[in-house]
């Protein structure tokens, strides 16, 4: 589980750099300012959680259910949150907004909140 978490983190980081560069250069020509800000939000959250996944892999064994749920929440939440934003902004720029992606973004955000809550709980559990 540790290796999977770190590999997903590294992949998310790699893609965040690529998407960030793509957004800063190629997408400026086709995205509005609002669409570009939304895209950048997806990239930022993706990078934050890429780094977090790598750090989790180094600091946790990820062998109990709490730690596994935490890692899965971050992995799936990042995917749903950031990639739904990419899909929404790209489809909107092309004039055919994929509306079904709209509810997926907050679901991804909820999973990220759950992941952070589980991380907090794991700290409290170890402290007490």
Residues whose CB falls within 8 Å of the CB of residue 89, separated by 6 or more in sequence, listed in order: 31, 35, 36, 38, 39, 42
Q: What are the tens digits of pLDDT across the range 13-49?
A: 999 999 999 998 999 889 999 999 999 999 999 999 9
Note the pLDDT of residue 97.
85
Tell me the three state secondary structure of residue 4: helix
Q: Using the predicted structure, report yes or no on whether residue 114 has a pLDDT greater than 90.
A: yes
Averaged pLDDT for residues 76-90: 97
Domain ranges in the chain are 2-127
Averaged pLDDT for residues 47-73: 96
pTM higher than the cut 0.75: yes
CA 42 vs. chain centroid, Å, equals: 7
Note the pLDDT of residue 79.
98
């Amino acid at each position: 589980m540790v290796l999977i978490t770190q590999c997903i983190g590294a992949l998310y980081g790699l893609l965040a750099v690529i998407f960030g560069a793509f957004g800063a250069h190629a997408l400026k020509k086709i995205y509005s300012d609002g669409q570009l800000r939304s895209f950048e939000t997806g990239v930022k959250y993706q990078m934050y959680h890429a780094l977090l996944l790598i750090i989790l892999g180094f600091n946790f064994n990820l062998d109990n259910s709490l730690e596994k749920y935490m890692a899965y929440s971050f992995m799936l939440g990042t995917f749903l949150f950031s990639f739904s934003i990419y899909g929404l902004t790209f489809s909107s720029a092309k004039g055919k907004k994929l509306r079904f992606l709209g509810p997926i973004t907050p679901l991804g955000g909820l999973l990220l909140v759950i992941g952070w809550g589980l991380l907090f709980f794991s700290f409290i559990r170890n402290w007490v």
